[in-house]
Amino acid sequence: MSAGGRIRISAHIGAGLLAIALAGCVIGAPTAPVQVPASHGQLNLCTGAPALPPNNLASNPNYVEFSVDVIDSTGAPTIGLAQSDFVATENDRPVPIAYFRAEQDRPPVAIGILVDKSGSMVTKLPVVSASVDALLPKLDACDEVMLYAFGMDPIVVQDFTTDHALAAERLKLIGAWGGTPFYDGVSQGIARLDASHYPDRVAIIFTDDAPGLLGSPSLDNGSTIATRNGIVNSALNSQSRFFVVGVGKPDAKQFPIGIGIGPWAIGSAPNGVGAADLKTLATDLQGEFYLIAAEPDENAPKVKVQPRDTGGVEATPSYYPLAADPGEIEQFATALASQIDRHYTIGLITSGPAATNHITIKASRGNARTTFHQIKVTSATP
């Protein structure tokens, strides 16, 4: 068949083809993912400690404590609630609240920023960087930050540091390529966060969960160690709070990239985001979901794609990076920082340790959503 008579087909492609087509893609100057930093960065830890329950509660083997967030319809935390605004149940039966505390001058927090650097994120990393740039100045100076990038070769981009500006700069070095072993990467990121210096931990996961072949979900397409149930169980047992941030163009109907395979051509540009699946994941993690909607920025330099030898598969050479409205990014950063700052601690005496799997806590505030997770109880020194 002559070149002019070749048939060209446009179709959805999944993350498996993206792993082939986008291998080697980078943002900006770097030609490979960054290495573990030689210096861990400045780490000025503070001595602030959380308030403790009375020893008669903390020493009770059936006493359990929960960190509780109440989120309104805009994603902002609901503040000013009293103990009487909450109802707790165990196996659907009411349980008296034995201890209540509204966090105000909070102790320092360990924050793990987990960034998806698979090929589908090639146009979205600038939005992630802008979002983190907006968030970090709103944190307390004592908060330690860890930056972890996951994909085909997960890496600690910046170990725990209180130098927030350094973490922001390190993020800009991340390159995007390959498939999405999402569950492996997130599991490893949670494990790294669990090694923090502060007991109050927050995990922020930036990803896109773009649709795969014929619109099928492709949140994960390469994990060999962890599973979805595994990371959910790990997260719930990690005593961390979780925020899942979806980045992309919500109305993108396909996950396109241009590929030539002999006479065939498939797809166009990787802009989509699977908001519904990511919201479900956040709910499973007993966390909160944010969507940062973004559009191609035709005024920006295109993102370069550096294809490797793929046996006849050639990637489109460049794409316009995505950009989000600065006001939306600022709103996201303000809401997330407020949630990190403001939450409640509720203690219950249950019928036994195994019953903690059947605890629910709700705030009686209209359409507000209550999220909670169990935290470690520490007794005061006699």
Domain containing 124: what range?
9-44+107-340
Q: Could you tell me if residue 360 is inside a domain?
A: yes
Eight-class DSSP state of 85 = G
Tell me how far apart the alpha carbons of residues 46 and 329 are, in angstroms, rounded to a whole number. Answer: 29
| CA–CA distance, 210 with 152 (Å, rounded to integer) | 17
Domain tally for the chain? 2
Q: Which two tokens stand for residue 325?
A: 């409205």
pTM metric for this prediction: 0.76
Q: Do 95 and 34 belong to one domain?
A: no
Is 244 found in the same domain as 188? yes
The tokens describing 192, both together, are 């790294």
pLDDT at 219: 82
Q: How far apart are CA 337 and CA 242, in angstroms?
A: 13
* Contact present, 310 and 320 (Cβ < 8 Å): no
Please report, for the chain, how many H helices and E strands are present, in that order: 8, 20
Phi, psi (deg, nearest 5) at residue 312: 100, -5
Rounded CA-CA distance 18/13 in Å is 7
Q: What pLDDT is recorded for position 213?
A: 46
Same domain (yes/no): 179, 281: yes
- Residues 28, 70 within the same domain: no
- The helix/strand/coil state of 301 is coil
The answer on 198 and 291 residing in a single domain is yes
Same domain, 95 and 138: no
380 lies in a domain? no
Longest dimension (CA), the chain: 87
How many residues can be counted in the chain?
382
Q: Which residues of the chain have pLDDT under 70?
A: 1-40, 48-51, 210-218, 253-270, 304-317, 353-357, 378-382
Do residues 174 and 27 make contact, with C-beta atoms less than 8 angstroms apart? yes
- Do 281 and 202 fall within a single domain? yes
Q: How many CB atoms lie within 10 A of CB 255?
A: 28
Say if residue 28 is in the same domain as residue 175: yes
- Separation of alpha carbons 175 and 89, rounded Å: 47
d(CA 273, CA 381): 49
Do 87 and 203 lie in a common domain?
Answer: no
The predicted pLDDT at position 263 comes to 31
- SS3 label, residue 88: strand
pLDDT of residue 211: 54
Is residue 49 in a domain?
no
| Whole-number Å distance between alpha carbons of 32 and 17 | 20
